[in-house]
């Protein structure tokens, strides 16, 4: 499990949430509601039949914990998440913008 890194999350990031971490399908829309921990995220999920539902302590879909831990079944009630494609793209754009700004500042100094 030490090789796995959860994605960098910030409050407001969009995620796809799955109710069954052992067979993820039919995702619901969700958002990071509180500052994430090291291995889990606190999510706000839109459920058609109930409105917004809080899901604390949600682990990433690809976390090896689901395959390797004896306590995974107990954690399953919180579901799992993955970063929404739009959130992934925004993070990539932000990273490229930062690199471009650094390169431009270096050229100005030279």
pLDDT in tens, 55-89: 999 999 999 999 999 999 999 999 999 999 999 99
Q: What is the mean pLDDT of the chain?
A: 91
Q: Phi/psi of residue 32, each to 5°?
A: -75, 120
What mean pLDDT is predicted for residues 32-45?
92
Q: Give me the numbers of helices (H) and strands (E) for the chain, helices first please.
A: 3, 5
Predicted pLDDT of residue 48: 86
- Give residue limits of the domains in the chain: 14-84
Conformational region of residue 98, where left means phi above 0, alpha means psi within -120 to 50, and beta covers everything else: alpha
**Is 60:70 a contact under the CB 8 Å cutoff?**
no
40 contacts 34 by C-beta, under 8 angstroms = no
Angle of CA points 42, 94, 17, to nearest 5°: 30
């Amino acid at each position: 499990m030490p090789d796995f890194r959860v994605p960098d999350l910030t409050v407001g990031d969009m995620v796809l949430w799955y109710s069954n971490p052992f067979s993820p399908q039919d995702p619901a829309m969700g958002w990071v509601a509180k500052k994430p921990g090291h291995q889990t995220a606190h999510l706000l999920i839109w459920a058609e039949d109930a409105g917004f539902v809080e899901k604390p302590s949600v682990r990433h879909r690809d976390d090896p914990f689901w395959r390797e831990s004896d306590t995974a079944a107990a954690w399953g009630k919180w579901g799992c998440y993955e970063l929404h494609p739009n959130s992934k793209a925004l993070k990539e754009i932000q990273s490229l913008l930062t690199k471009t700004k650094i390169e431009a500042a270096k050229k100005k100094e030279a």
